Amino acid sequence: MPEPIIKIRDLHTSYGELKVLKGITLDVYADETLVILGRSGCGKSTLLRHLIGLQKPTKGEIYIKDVDIVRASEDGREEVMKKIGMLFQGAALFNSMSVGENVALPLVEHTPLESSTISIMTRMKLDLVGLAGFENFMPSQLSGGMKKRAAMARALAMDPDILFCDEPSAGLDPIVAVGIDHLILKLKKAFKMTIVVVTHELASVFLIADRIALLHEGEVIFLGTKEEMKNSKDPRICQFLERRPDEEIIDRDKHLSALVGEGYIS
C-alpha cells in the first residue's frame, strides 16, 4: 500500500452546540479520485474547508503531504496551498476582476513569469474548461455553469497536484455536468492529479470515482469502491443509491408537537 497523500485522523468539529463532524478518519492516496457522498447538511463542505485550512477542528489531525495543516504556521500552510486547487460550491470568483484576471491571479502572485506567458497560460486553462475567448468577461456576465467552469480554470492555474471540488456539477444542465465529469477524468488521466470531489449526482459518482466515502451525520459510514457500494446491504447506503425519501413519520403526536412548538399539545 502506498503512503497516503492526505491523512485525516479523528476529526471533530462543531459550530457552537451543533456537532458537525464526529470523528472522521480518512486516507486519500496519490492519483486517486475520491468521491465524498452525503446528504445535504451532513458536513461535506465543512470537511473540505478543514482540508484547506480555512477552519480549525476542535479535535483531530490533518496531514497533507506530511504537513500538519491544523498546526502548521501560516507560511507552511501557504506553501502547501500553492499546489492545491479548490473549486468552491459557489464558485467564489473575484467579482471585481475579469475572468482572465481571476485565472491569472495565482500565476501573477506566485510565479516570476512574464505577463505574455501568463496570458497564454490563462487562455490555455480557459480553453481546457471550454471557456476560450471569455477572458475579458466579468463574472457577473457569466451563467452559473460558466462561473463554475471559470472557477475550475482558476483552481487549475498553478497546475496543482491535489484538486478539491465542492459539488462541481450542482445546478448545471446534464450536458454541462457530464462535461465537467469528463474534464475531471481528463485531469486524472493526463495530469495524474489527486482529486477529491463532493457531489450528489450518482451518475457522476459512478463515472469518476475510484473510491467512495459516504458521510452520514458527521461520520464516515462507508468507504470503498463502486462495486462494494453497489453490493452493500447497509440500509442507509441502499436508501441513498435507490434515491428513496425518508421513512414516513410514525409518531404523529411527536411530529405535530415538533411543528407547533413544545408544550402546545399535552
Partner 1 sequence: MRNIFGKTGHGFYSFIAHLARILKLSGQSLYWIFIAPFKGKRIRWRLTFIQMVRIGVDAVPIVSIITFSVGLIIAMQAAYQLERFGASIYVADLVGVSITRELGPLITAIIIAGRSGSAIAAEIGTMKVAEEIDALKTMALNPIGFLVVPRTLAMIIVVPCLTILADFLGIAGGFSLAVFSLKIPFIAYFNETATAILLKDFLTGLVKSLVFAVIISQIGAYQGFSVSGGAEGVGKSTTASVVSSIFLIIFSDLIFTMIFFSA
Ligand X SMILES: Nc1ncnc2c1ncn2[C@@H]1O[C@H](COP(=O)(O)OP(=O)(O)OP(=O)(O)O)[C@@H](O)[C@H]1O
Sheet holding 211-216, edge to edge: 84-87, 162-166, 194-198, 33-38, 211-216, 219-224
What is the distance between the alpha carbons of residues 31 and 14, in angstroms, rounded to a whole number?
Answer: 31
Selected from 45, 102, 194, 199, the binder of Mg ion by CB under 5 A is 45
CA-only gyration radius of the chain, Å: 20
Residues 29-68 interacting with partner 1 (rule: CB under 8 A): 49, 52-54
- For residue 15, the partner it binds in partner 1, ligand X, Mg ion, none, with Cβ less than 5 to 8 A by kind, is ligand X
| Contact (CB, 8 A) for 233 and 242 | no
Q: Is 253 exposed, middle or buried (0-12, 13-18, 19+ CB in 10 A)?
A: exposed
- Give the nearer residue to ligand X in terms of CB position, either 21 or 131: 21
The DSSP bridge partners found for residue 6 are 28, 64
Residues 226-265 interacting with partner 1 (rule: CB under 8 A): none
Residues 88-147 interacting with ligand X (rule: CB under 6 A): 89
**Closest residue to ligand X, based on beta-carbon distance:** 45
- Give the nearer residue to ligand X in terms of CB position, either 22 or 77: 22
What is the distance between the alpha carbons of residues 210 and 231, in angstroms, rounded to a whole number?
Answer: 16
Contacts of 45 (CB under 8 A, 6+ apart): 89, 166, 198
Selected from 6, 8, 11, 20, the binder of ligand X by CB under 6 A is 20
Listed ranges 10-18, 40-48, 72-80, 227-235: which one lies at the site for Mg ion (CB under 5 A): 40-48
Residues 82-141 interacting with partner 1 (rule: CB under 8 A): 82, 84, 86, 88-90, 92-96, 105-106, 109-110
Count of beta carbons in the 10 Å neighbourhood of residue 154: 28
Nearest to 32 by CA among 153, 156, 196, 173: 196
Selected from 44, 50, 123, 188, the binder of ligand X by CB under 6 A is 44
Q: Is 81 in the site for partner 1 (CB under 8 A)?
A: yes
Nearest to 33 by CA among 221, 169, 203, 188: 188
Q: Is 184 in the site for partner 1 (CB under 8 A)?
A: no
CB of 135 to ligand X, least distance (A): 30
- Give the nearer residue to ligand X in terms of CB position, either 70 or 107: 70
Query: Residues interacting with ligand X, by CB under 6 A?
Result: 15, 18, 20, 38, 40-46, 89
Query: Residues interacting with Mg ion, by CB under 5 A?
Result: 45, 89
